[in-house]
């Protein structure tokens, strides 16, 4: 029996991720979170850098801890992070969120839709948790996304702007995917149709219309007119945020988001597309020799970067849990992904997940864990699986 078929088992995974980051990530000197924890033993290897995405993800995580009746300290931790997000990261003069800080001093004020989407997500989860100031952050983040990034002629968000809001020509899949996620969370937190309508538009436009140019697969990089830029970063296969190729993890992540959207919208294409994208993730991405999902691949499944990333597998776990509610066959993938992940990708001592291993599941140091991932992927997908697999009451013993 897969213990992660039970809410109790999943609740322990959820709690383990929270415990790994708390209290080590709480910084009362600078403020906010020191999210750079070594994934092997949890020591803080960079106490000064503050990344917008890491701050927002931390607020999201601890807010979910409150929502899920987790440890009592989750409320304090969420309040602590939200206060830093709403003050230190917010540039009141230019009305946008700063990307990177050294302590409280901005070092990179580039405006990324990706980062602003995570602020909306953080605000939505904090609002669900009843954190003071959360509603203000939801409204502010959504206003920036709509006023600065939304392009109604395309039905999608632009990707990047200068500190003074001059848009770059690059357009990207990832920012729109996480905007869709944040909009769904905002709808859950407020029950306001404006968020659901925008999430539906983004999902429909990207997963059905834009992907028609690449035979239904999700390309990552586009021109200003939303045409696939197939040569983008082809000389930088290990680029941190914009690698070339198709990402099985993002196919699984979109499948998850469509499954969530299908809980609120009845159009048949939503679940049909969710199944197609999950199937593409495992058909293209599964490594038959060593197991696990590749990071990036060609359209025929030939690996570009064959490394195994923890976030990829947690997203596939969340997607398979949600899809198994509609088709039992996906429960088999849920079990298979957990078995592989427990053997290789989850830290057996602390319960956090490793960022990246080689194809053969070796560690090629230095590999401390990404500075923008304070447990957001494993925590989110454990929580979604808890909601999907209702076989016993959740427990945080």
Q: Give the catalytic positions in this structure.
A: 250, 377
Burial 48-72 (b: 16+ CB within 10 A, else e): ebbbbbbbbbbbbbbbbbbbbebbe
d(CA 352, CA 115): 23
C-alpha pair distances (Å), 98 with each of 63, 94, 103, 150, 166: 22, 10, 12, 19, 15
Task: Show the tokens assigned to 248.
Answer: 């099985």
Beta bridge partners of 222: 171, 228
Check the CA dihedral 57-59-60-66 and report its sign: positive
H-state helical runs in the chain:
7-21, 52-67, 73-87, 113-128, 134-144, 173-190, 193-204, 248-261, 268-285, 310-323, 329-344, 376-388
Taking the C-alpha atoms of residue 112 and residue 110, their distance in angstroms, rounded to an integer, is 6
CA distance 40 to 26: 19
Q: Token pair 């996304």 is at which residue? A: 145
**Contacts by 205-210, CB closer than 8 A, 24 or more apart:** 205/154, 205/155, 205/156, 206/156, 206/173, 206/176, 206/177, 206/180, 207/254, 207/258, 207/273, 207/277, 208/269, 208/273, 210/156
Place of tokens 């409204």: 139
For the chain, give the number of residues: 397
């Amino acid at each position: 029996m897969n213990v992660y078929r039970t809410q109790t088992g999943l609740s322990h995974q959820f709690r383990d991720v929270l415990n790994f980051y708390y209290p080590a990530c709480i910084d009362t000197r600078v403020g906010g979170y020191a999210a750079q924890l070594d994934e092997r033993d949890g020591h803080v290897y960079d106490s000064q850098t503050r990344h917008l995405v890491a701050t927002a993800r931390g607020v999201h995580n601890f807010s979910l801890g409150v929502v899920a009746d987790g440890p009592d300290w989750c409320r304090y931790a969420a309040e602590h992070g939200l206060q830093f997000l709403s003050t230190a990261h917010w540039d009141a003069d230019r009305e946008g969120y700063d990307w990177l800080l050294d302590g409280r001093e901005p070092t990179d004020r580039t405006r990324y839709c990706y980062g602003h989407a995570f602020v909306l997500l953080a605000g939505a989860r904090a609002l669900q948790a009843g954190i003071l100031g959360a509603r203000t952050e939801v409204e502010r983040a959504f206003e920036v996304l709509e006023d600065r990034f939304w392009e109604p002629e395309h039905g999608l968000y632009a990707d990047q702007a200068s500190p003074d809001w001059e848009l770059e020509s690059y357009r990207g899949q990832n920012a729109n995917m996480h905007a869709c996620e944040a909009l769904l969370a905002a709808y859950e937190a407020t029950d306001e149709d404006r968020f659901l309508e925008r999430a539906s538009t983004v999902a429909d436009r990207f997963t059905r219309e834009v992907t028609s140019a690449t035979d239904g697969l999700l390309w990552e990089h586009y021109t200003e007119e939303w045409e696939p830029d197939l040569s983008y970063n082809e000389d930088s296969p290990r680029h941190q945020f914009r690698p070339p190729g198709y990402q099985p993890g993002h196919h699984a992540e979109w499948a998850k988001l469509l499954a969530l959207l299908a809980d609120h919208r009845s159009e048949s294409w939503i679940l049909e597309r969710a199944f197609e994208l999950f199937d593409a993730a495992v058909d293209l991405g599964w490594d038959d020799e060593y197991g696990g999902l590749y990071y990036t691949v060609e359209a025929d499944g030939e690996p570009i970067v064959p490394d195994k990333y923890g976030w990829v597998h947690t997203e596939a776990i969340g997607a398979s849990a949600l899809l198994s509610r509609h088709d039992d066959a996906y429960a088999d993938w849920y079990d298979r992904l957990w078995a592989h992940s427990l053997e290789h990708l989850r830290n057996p001592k602390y319960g956090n997940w490793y960022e990246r291993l080689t194809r053969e599941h070796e560690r090629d140091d230095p590999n401390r864990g990404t500075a923008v991932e304070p447990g957001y992927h494993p925590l989110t997908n454990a929580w979604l699986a808890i909601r999907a697999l209702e076989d016993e009451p959740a427990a945080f013993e």
